[in-house]
């Protein structure tokens, strides 16, 4: 699971890939339609799609002559479940922590 999470978060680290995922929330899209709003080559978009596919976040399927992309929400769900575990922790008061450290270091 750790390797899968590493791959997912690496894929999500890029703003172009996050934008592609947001676009695919609406519906399946042809690769050329995915590429349209971005100012980069189709080859560059294809590399981004490859990263998303390798992470399991999307699938790609050829329908006739057109390659289609589909969001695969299960992997996002796994990452979300992992992150929700951190929501159980209380927020840290950084000012109080800084004061504590200053007192400890001065004694």
**Predicted confidence (pLDDT) per residue in 12-66, tens digit:** 999 999 999 999 999 999 999 999 999 999 999 999 999 999 999 999 999 999 9
Domain span at 46: 2-106
SS3 per residue for 56-102: CCEEEEEECCEEEEEECHHHHHHHHHHHHHHHHCCCCCHHHHHHHHH
**Predicted confidence (pLDDT) per residue in 40-51, tens digit:** 999 999 999 999
C-alpha–C-alpha distance, residues 100 and 54, integer Å: 45
CA angle 86, 16, 87 (to 5 degrees): 10
At 25, which CATH number? Answer: 1.10.10.10
């Amino acid at each position: 699971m750790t390797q899968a999470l590493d791959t997912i978060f690496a894929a999500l680290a890029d703003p172009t890939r996050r934008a592609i995922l947001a676009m695919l929330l609406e519906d399946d899209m042809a690769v050329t339609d995915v590429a349209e709003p971005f100012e980069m080559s189709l080859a560059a978009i294809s590399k981004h799609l490859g990263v998303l596919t390798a992470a399991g976040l999307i699938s790609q399927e050829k329908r006739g002559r057109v390659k289609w992309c589909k969001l695969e929400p299960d992997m996002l769900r796994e990452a979300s479940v992992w992150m929700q575990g951190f929501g159980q922790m209380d927020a840290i008061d950084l000012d109080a922590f800084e004061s504590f450290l200053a007192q400890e270091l001065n004694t």
